[in-house]
Amino acid sequence: MAQKPWEHAKASGSEADPLAARFVASLDVDKRLYRHDIRGSMAHARMLERVGLITTDDLAQIERGLGEIEAEIEAQGDDWPGWKVELEDVHMCVEAALIEKVGDAGRKLHTGRSRNDQVATDLVMWVREAADELHDLLTGLCDAFVVMADRNADVVMPAYTHLQRAQPIVAGSECLAWCCMFDSDRWYLHQCVLHMFASPLGSGAIAGSSLPLDPMLTAQALGFEQPPWNSIAFTATRDSALDFVYGCTTIAMHLSRWAEQWIIYASEEFGFIRLDDAFTTGSSMMPQKRNPDMLELLRGKAATPYGSLVALLTMCKGLTVGYNRDLQEDKRHVFAAYDCVKDCLQMATRIVSTSDFRPERIGERLHRGHLDATSLAEYLVTRGVPFRTSHQIVGRLVRKADELERFELRKLTLDEMRAECDVIDKDVYDWLGPENVVQRYRTIGNAGATGFAEQVKQWKQRLTAD
């Protein structure tokens, strides 16, 4: 094994010990950065030519060589012969292959650059793209929820707090609730991308360079607005990666909440949702089973991005101000979070697109649990009863309905109600029964008929606008 081309100051290189050689390498993980690395190198080379540090001929050779390397990697993937683990990482493999192809012009590519600003730049470029991709997948998922919502504008169902029956809602509103959560993830990722407006390239190893580099040129070529304004900070921060992985964790958290909800809804006990057979599995022993394994996995996979976030935060903690090799461990966590969440978002979108509510099952017990009790209390408020008092009165009426084994407030007679509160009139029945109640909500964003109609309209506009 040859000595590493950048370890000339030492009597022997880290390849002298096979474990050390493997230990220090990150190639297995970072080879997927090759496109970004080549793009960054192209921009760097063009800048070097513009400021006169390499000739036009050098640049032409570098561009040709890097172009060929990219095509080779595209075609050969992991089998590309340039992947040499003794070269440690994607950056050194690409550069070594370039030098093999074009000789001295290739040896000039690294002028004024360090792997420290190189890898920082590659990673930010990668994260920007990944965030855009997840953003688009989130849009697809939101779309699927809106379509499902639209199909269920007329289904009335119970809403739960503490998983106990609370108030009646339009079923589609619950789809829009998930849409809201995934939209806020979308918004967050968009903000992350906007925040990544500075390029680390030009920072060098830590202190910049005495050569007449023009980092603004490379920044613009790579789609950044600004060059690094502090060479020390820019070589050794992974804040953009952290922001991104945090975004992955909130997506995963929202997915796991939704998955849990639908696991419950798909149970025989609830029966609110029917899942497509493609997204359930059978049992090796019990022939009747339709287990919601995909949803369970969506719930369980949240562990991966959560772990990535904690790992990345822990890796960054306590690092002295410049580059430390600890930072090489960043990419495995960023990629793991992304891979996991990308898969999950695609899976979730398919499940939502193929599932539906089961109005007949929801309807079977819709009138149990006094979903209209709050509505009755609000009716009393409109009749001048202080809310705390009306709350007490309705509490007594609920008890009365249950004691009489009628279980529904609307099954009490007017006289029975008036015995508790004489301002009650026969129009009270318009405020009772889940179907009436969902027509009565009037606050902005409400989960009844008016709120649903307004929200669904806005979501359709909003999602097609992006």
User: Which of 182, 187, 108, 175 shows the shortest CA–CA distance to 147?
Assistant: 175
Tell me how far, at minimum, the Cβ of 124 lies from ligand ARG, in Å.
13
Extended strands (E) in 122-191: 156-161, 164-170
Tell me how far, at minimum, the Cβ of 324 lies from ligand ARG, in Å.
9
Select from 51-59, 111-119, 133-141, 292-300 the region that touches ligand ARG (CB under 6 A): 111-119
DSSP H helical ranges for 222-238: 231-235
User: Which of 73, 62, 60 shows the shortest CA–CA distance to 107?
Assistant: 62
Q: Is 323 in the site for ligand ARG (CB under 6 A)?
A: yes
Interface map 57-96 toward ligand ARG (x if CB under 6 A): --------------------------------x-------
Task: Give kind and range of the element (H or E) at residue 343.
Answer: helix 330-354
Residues 11-40 that bind ligand ARG (CB under 6 A): 26, 30
How many whole angstroms separate alpha carbon 397 and alpha carbon 403? Answer: 10
What letter does residue 291 receive in the DSSP assignment?
A: B
**Out of 14, 190, 254, 283, which one is annotated catalytic?**
283
Q: Is 167 in the site for ligand ARG (CB under 6 A)?
A: no
List the one residue from 171, 302, 327, 409 that touches ligand ARG (CB under 6 A).
327
How many whole angstroms separate alpha carbon 318 and alpha carbon 232? Answer: 16
List the one residue from 41, 121, 173, 328 that touches ligand ARG (CB under 6 A).
328
Q: Go through 176-208 and write b for each residue having 16 or more CB atoms within 10 A of its CB, e for each that does not.
A: bbbbebbbebbebbbebbeebebbbbbbbebeb
DSSP H helical ranges for 222-287: 231-235, 239-265
- In the bound state with ligand ARG, the residue whose beta carbon lies nearer, of 204 and 292, is 204
Tell me how far, at minimum, the Cβ of 326 lies from ligand ARG, in Å.
9
Tell me how far, at minimum, the Cβ of 150 lies from ligand ARG, in Å.
47
Q: Is 308 in the site for ligand ARG (CB under 6 A)?
A: no
**Out of 162, 184, 203, 333, which one is annotated catalytic?**
162
Q: Which amino acid is at 175?
A: C
Select from 64-72, 324-332, 343-351, 396-404 the region that touches ligand ARG (CB under 6 A): 324-332
Contact 38, 106 (CB under 8 A): no
List the one residue from 101, 115, 186, 358 that touches ligand ARG (CB under 6 A).
115
Give the residues across from 291 on adjacent strands.
281
Tell me how far, at minimum, the Cβ of 332 lies from ligand ARG, in Å.
10
- In the bound state with ligand ARG, the residue whose beta carbon lies nearer, of 27 and 170, is 27
User: Which of 309, 291, 302 shows the shortest CA–CA distance to 258?
Assistant: 302
Interface map 363-382 toward ligand ARG (x if CB under 6 A): --------------------
Select from 113-121, 158-166, 207-215, 423-431 the region that touches ligand ARG (CB under 6 A): 113-121
Name, in order, each residue with C-beta under 8 angstroms of 411's C-beta and a sequence gap of 6 or more: 401
How many whole angstroms separate alpha carbon 218 and alpha carbon 42? Answer: 9
Q: Which residue carries 């996991």 as its tokens?
A: 340
Size of the site for ligand ARG (CB under 6 A): 10
Q: Is 235 in the site for ligand ARG (CB under 6 A)?
A: no
Residue 369 has a CB neighbour count (10 Å cut-off) of 18
Contact 117, 222 (CB under 8 A): no
Q: Is 41 in the site for ligand ARG (CB under 6 A)?
A: no
List the one residue from 14, 41, 116, 375 that touches ligand ARG (CB under 6 A).
116
- In the bound state with ligand ARG, the residue whose beta carbon lies nearer, of 235 and 390, is 235
Is 162 catalytic? The answer is yes
Binding site for ligand ARG (CB under 6 A): 26, 30, 89, 115-116, 119, 323, 325, 327-328
Catalytic residues: 162, 283
